[in-house]
Homo-oligomer: A and B are copies of this chain.
């Protein structure tokens, strides 16, 4: 039998995928599982978006233009204009989710063997895209005790090599919830200029900021030709299944290359692009987003308050996104999550994403988990109560086994 490729073998399998069957089993046994493991909001998708799809006048569902439907590109322009950024249509490419924008960014900036520096812990699919396209990820470790903010400049520079092509990061951060400060961004821009690097910044959580102020990487005109912005409507429109993202750059060469990538895959889905156009045409669209962000702020506060009461749980309150990356008083958080799904005695249980999956450095994050506060406040409280009980029972059970 012919062999499959080394790169597809190297692509990481999600630890969550290994754990899911256990969650399914638990539910079959009548257990309620609080899913804090995935960044899938429970907030209803805004009605204007859904109406835009239902009422779309489509007779022949033909290919959308590869760079995006003009209506969708205009909607993105309008959204960025509201943020104070004036973009031309040529600076915007509609992608199939933020996912594709990341793939295109790596394809356009890196050849096989090239390196991209990423602060870890990071969104695990970055590693997946990189492995499939033979790009090497150089992790730059950040720490829970520092709220996952960046290390000093000289430490970052120590990670750069002649093969480094780009720095990739999400701001606000997934899984960390970090919102990078202005001095941190200034430093990144300066590093990119000095070392001739691209800055690929994933701002899909841009609206989800509760402390301080988010500064978009678009605010740096001096770095305009280094910046590739990755964005998506998945989170701010609670429309993960729409698969509408965008790649934005003022670098003409980058955009021409990204457009070629887009031509090769033909087009992004039509209906969801029309949904985005309808959403932006609704006069209340900013209020809809603002209301949702307020709900997340309350959730963050409640989740952090409840987590803070649990003995041995350690974290710094995150500034943005909808995640908390926190430490548990266990040695192997994946084993703990597994135990919560299979052995925890209550009628309810809780699922988190194991921390190690967010690090490229082996051995890191084994006592951490990522919790996504994507449930209602009362469910978050229950989930934390279950977690607290689980930790006690798990450690007791472990002590017994070790006897």
**Which A residues fall within an 8 A CB radius of B?**
1-2, 4-9, 11-14, 17, 40-45, 49-50, 53-54, 58-64, 96-97, 99-100, 103, 107-112, 114, 125, 128-129, 132-134, 165-166, 196-198, 225-226, 238-243, 251, 253-254, 257-258, 260-261, 263-272
Contact = CB atoms under 8 A, between A and B. Distances in A.
Contacts of A254: 4
Given A1-B226, A129-B264, A59 B44 contact: yes
Number of copies of chain A assembled together:
2
Contacts of A253: 1, 4
Contacts of A260: 8, 11-13, 128
B45 A50 contact: no
A7 B265 contact: no
Contacts of A251: 1
Contacts of A133: 133
A96 B96 CA distance: 9
Given A107-B7, A257-B4, A61 B238 contact: yes
A378 B6 CA distance: 53
A50 B100 CA distance: 26
A137 B148 CA distance: 44
Given A4-B254, A12-B260, A44-B60, 17 more contacts: A2-B166, A4-B108, A8-B107, A8-B258, A9-B257, A50-B61, A53-B54, A61-B239, A61-B241, A63-B240, A63-B241, A99-B266, A111-B134, A125-B264, A128-B263, A132-B264, A242-B270
15 contacts: A8-B261, A9-B257, A11-B257, A53-B53, A53-B271, A62-B240, A62-B241, A97-B266, A100-B265, A128-B260, A132-B261, A240-B266, A241-B269, A241-B270, A271-B271
